Amino acid sequence: MNVRQALKNEYVRSAIFLVVILLAIAAFWFGLRAYLRTEYPLLAVASGSMVPALNVGDLIVVQGGLTIDEIVANYATGDVIVFYRPNGATDLIVHRAVEVDVDQNNVAFLKTKGDHNPSTDYWRVYEGDVVGKVVGVVPYLGNIPLFVHRPEGMMIIVILIIGLILMEFVVPISRKKPQPEQAETPPDTEEADPQSSR
């Protein structure tokens, strides 16, 4: 089968289309990571600690590669930053940088606070803990990844994928009915109409 014949095949075209979509998504994601200089350029807000600035389900755009000197720390208008929870935890926190201080070794760190929380956080956020600062917000769009991360959301996604595969490949095959073999017929011969003979 040559390339031209293969491209006429419906399954081959569907596979190529799927590969192109996946490559486009990967290119967008890795391009965004490189441009914003962070491993997490897009994140969903999962808690209400930053209400009203950020609501649960908002999608935030994060710019990384920042030093503490490049982060504005202020109780009213400080940068909203994303950072790893200190003390070796791997979860991410989204709070406002409210103050810069130095420790006993003269190393700078940030104090943070959720806008909706009554008091400043107890931890110290060092430069190595900072993922980046929030530079954009898309309301509600973060609800999609939050839903997918739930067990019921993942189950629905799996069911939809299985359904799409069935609709794309199995259903068309089952609709194709085998055609009965036709008996060979002799070539058409003209029969003379006896009434027309003279």
pLDDT tens by residue, 58-92 = 999 999 999 999 999 999 999 999 999 987 778 99
Residue of 41, 81, 39 lying closest to 59 (CA atoms): 41
Helix (H) or strand (E) holding 8: helix 3-8
Helix (H) or strand (E) holding 26: helix 10-36
Task: Say what the pLDDT of residue 185 is.
Answer: 57
Asked if residue 148 and residue 66 are part of one domain, the reply reads no
Structural domain for 72, as ranges: 42-140
Kindly state whether residues 84 and 109 are assigned to the same domain: yes
- Mean pLDDT along residues 137-150: 91
| CA angle 58–63–41, rounded 5-degree value | 55
User: Residue 149 pLDDT > 90, yes or no?
Assistant: no
Distance CA 144, CA 160 (A): 15
Q: Is the same domain home to 12 and 74?
A: no
Q: Does 162 lie in the same domain as 104?
A: no
